[in-house]
C-alpha cells in the first residue's frame, strides 16, 4: 500500500520584513522546525486527515470538500485540495496525519509550511508534475482565498526552496531566487518566542497591505513610467508624500528604507565571504546587527506592527554583552525576536532577561535554536 512521509520547514527572514508584498527583495531561509506529514493510501472512499498535535480529525468524501468550515487548519487543507484540482473525480482513499514543532503564531510561517507540505505531498503522491514554484503560488492562494490572509510569496518560497546553510535572496517582482551563504564567523542566529499573540495581527496586516497598494496606485498615476518602489527617486517620493496621509507616508518611508537595508546586507554578506581566516569579522557583524536594530525601529515607529512586549524584549536583549542586534520578525503584534549574537552567548546569558520579561508580562517566552535547512522534502 502506497505511503509517503514529507517534512515542510518553517522559516526565518533575516531582513526585508513586509517587502514581499511591497516589490522588494527579501532574505529568508528555511529552518529546522517542521510540519511532518504521513500520507497513506486506503481502501476507503473517503479522506481522513488527523491533526495529531490538536487531537482533531476531519473525514470527508471528495464531493463534500466544498462545505463551509470555521477558521482553522481545515480551511488551509480545504484550500490546498481544491486548488490542486481535487474534487469529485479525484482518487479515492487517503489517510493523512500531520504534526508540527513550529511554534504557532510565532512568525515562523507554520501556515505556509502546512500548505506547502500538503501540496508537495499530494503532488508527489499522485505524480501531478507541478513545479515547486507552482506549488508555492498555489499555497499562497490557499492563504489568500480560504484563510483571508493576503500574504506575499516569501513564506512559501522559503519553505519550498530553502537550502541548508543558505539564505535566499528572493526578488518579489521577478520571483528570481538566488541562494547565498552568510558566513557568521563566530556568531549565531537564534530566536526568542515571546509567546505574545495579539488578535489584531491578521486584520492589521491586511490593512497595511491595502494602504501600500493604494499608495502604489497613486504613484503610478503620478509617475506612469515608475516600475517599482526600488526605482522611486527622492523628488518623486516628496511629491507622492504630498498626496498621502501621515500614516501612509510613514509606512512608505519604512518600505524605502528597508529596501536600502536589504541591499546593504547583501553587500555585507559578500564582504564576509571574502574575509580571509585571519581577518576579524567583528566590525561587519556589528554592522549587520545595526541593520537588524534599524529594521525593528522602523517596524515599531513607522510601520507600527510591533507591540510593547516585543519592544521591551528587544530593548533588553540588545543591551546584553555579546549581542550584535535583534528585531521582531513576522507579520507583527507578537511572535519571535530574531537575535544575532556572539557564538559564546548562551542560554544562561539570556535566562535572567527572559525571566524578567516573563514576570513583567505573565508569559513563558522560549529560546529557539535554529539551523538553516533544506526546503520541503520527502523522506
Q: Give buried/exposed letters for 85-99 (b at 16+ CB in 10 A, else e).
A: ebeeebeeebbbbbe
**With bands split at pLDDT 50, 70 and 90, how would you rate the model's confidence at 152?**
confident
| Residue 79 burial class via C-beta count within 10 angstroms: exposed 0-12, middle 13-18, buried 19 and up | buried
Same domain, 124 and 9: yes
Same domain, 28 and 125: yes
Q: 375 lies in a domain?
A: no
Same domain, 130 and 15: yes
Span 244-290, pLDDT tens digits = 999 999 999 999 999 999 999 999 999 998 888 888 899 999 999 99
Q: Which of 136, 156, 181 is the last residue of a domain?
A: 181
Same domain, 161 and 222: no
Span 204-235, pLDDT tens digits = 888 999 999 999 999 999 999 999 999 999 99
Same domain, 176 and 235: no
Same domain, 26 and 92: yes
C-alpha angle 94-100-102 in degrees, rounded to nearest 5: 145
Q: 378 lies in a domain?
A: no
Q: 287 lies in a domain?
A: yes
Q: 377 lies in a domain?
A: no
Span 179-202, pLDDT tens digits = 999 888 889 999 999 988 876 566
List the domain range (segments joined by +) for residue 216.
187-369
Q: 12 lies in a domain?
A: yes
pLDDT reading at 89 higher than 60:
no
The candidate with the shortest Cα–Cα distance to 117, out of 251, 16, 296, 102, is 102
Q: Residue 293 is part of a domain; what is its CATH number?
A: 3.30.70.890
Give the 3-state secondary structure percentages of the chain, helix then strand then coil, rounded to 5: 45, 25, 35
Same domain, 147 and 197: no
Of 20, 155, 245, 315, the catalytic one is: 155
- The pLDDT, as a whole number, for residue 83 is 93
Higher-pLDDT residue of 351 and 75 is 75
Q: 35 lies in a domain?
A: yes
Q: Give alpha helix (H) positions in 41-109.
A: 73-83
Q: Which of 181, 197, 231 is the last residue of a domain?
A: 181
All cell numbers assigned to 151? 500574504
Same domain, 119 and 246: no
pTM flag (> 0.85):
yes
Residue with cell 544575532: 340
| DSSP tag of 254 | H
Residues in Cβ contact with 202 at an 8 Å cutoff, skipping those fewer than 6 apart: 148, 149, 331
Q: How far apart are the two ends of the chain, measured CA to CA in Å?
A: 17
Q: Which of 161, 181, 201 is the last residue of a domain?
A: 181
Total of domains in the chain: 2
Same domain, 202 and 322: yes
Same domain, 17 and 146: yes
Active site residue 32: no
Amino acid at each position: 500500500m502506497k505511503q509517503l512521509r514529507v517534512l515542510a520547514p518553517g522559516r526565518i527572514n533575516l531582513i526585508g520584513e513586509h517587502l514581499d508584498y511591497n516589490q522588494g527583495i527579501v532574505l529568508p531561509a528555511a529552518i529546522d522546525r517542521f510540519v511532518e506529514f504521513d500520507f497513506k493510501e486506503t481502501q476507503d472512499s473517503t479522506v481522513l486527515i488527523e491533526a495529531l498535535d490538536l487531537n482533531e480529525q476531519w473525514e470527508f468524501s471528495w464531493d463534500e470538500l466544498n462545505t463551509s468550515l470555521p477558521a482553522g487548519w481545515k480551511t488551509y487543507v480545504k484550500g490546498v485540495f481544491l486548488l490542486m484540482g481535487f474534487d469529485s473525480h479525484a482518487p479515492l482513499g487517503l489517510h493523512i496525519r500531520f504534526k508540527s514543532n513550529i511554534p504557532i503564531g510565532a512568525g515562523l510561517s507554520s501556515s505556509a509550511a502546512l500548505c506547502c507540505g500538503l501540496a508537495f505531498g499530494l503532488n508527489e503522491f499522485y505524480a501531478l508534475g507541478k513545479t515547486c514554484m507552482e506549488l508555492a503560488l498555489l499555497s499562497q492562494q490557499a492563504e489568500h482565498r480560504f484563510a483571508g490572509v493576503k500574504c506575499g510569496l516569501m513564506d512559501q518560497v522559503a519553505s519550498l526552496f530553502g537550502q541548508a546553510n543558505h539564505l535566499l535572496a528572493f526578488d518579489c517582482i521577478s520571483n528570481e531566487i538566488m541562494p547565498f551563504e552568510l558566513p557568521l564567523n563566530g556568531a549565531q542566529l537564534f530566536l526568542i518566542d515571546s509567546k505574545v499573540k495579539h488578535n489584531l495581527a491578521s486584520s492589521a496586516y491586511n490593512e497595511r497591505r491595502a494602504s501600500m497598494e493604494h499608495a502604489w496606485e497613486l504613484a503610478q498615476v503620478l509617475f506612469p513610467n515608475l516600475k517599482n518602489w526600488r526605482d522611486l527617486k527622492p523628488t518623486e517620493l516628496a511629491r507622492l508624500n504630498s498626496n498621502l496621509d501621515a500614516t501612509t507616508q510613514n509606512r512608505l518611508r519604512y518600505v524605502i528604507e528597508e529596501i536600502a537595508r536589504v541591499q546593504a546586507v547583501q553587500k555585507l554578506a559578500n564582504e564576509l565571504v571574502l574575509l580571509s581566516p585571519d581577518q576579524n569579522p567583528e566590525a561587519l557583524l556589528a554592522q549587520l546587527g545595526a541593520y537588524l536594530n534599524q529594521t525593528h525601529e522602523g517596524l515599531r515607529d513607522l510601520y507600527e506592527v510591533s507591540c510593547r512586549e516585543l519592544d521591551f524584549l528587544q530593548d533588553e536583549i540588545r543591551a546584553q554583552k555579546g549581542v550584535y542586534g535583534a528585531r521582531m520578525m513576522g507579520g507583527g503584534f507578537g511572535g519571535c525576536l530574531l537575535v544575532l549574537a556572539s557564538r559564546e552567548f548562551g542560554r544562561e546569558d539570556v535566562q535572567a532577561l527572559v525571566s524578567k520579561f516573563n514576570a513583567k508580562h505573565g508569559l513563558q517566552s522560549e529560546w529557539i535554536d535554529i539551523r538553516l535547512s533544506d526546503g520541503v522534502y520527502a523522506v
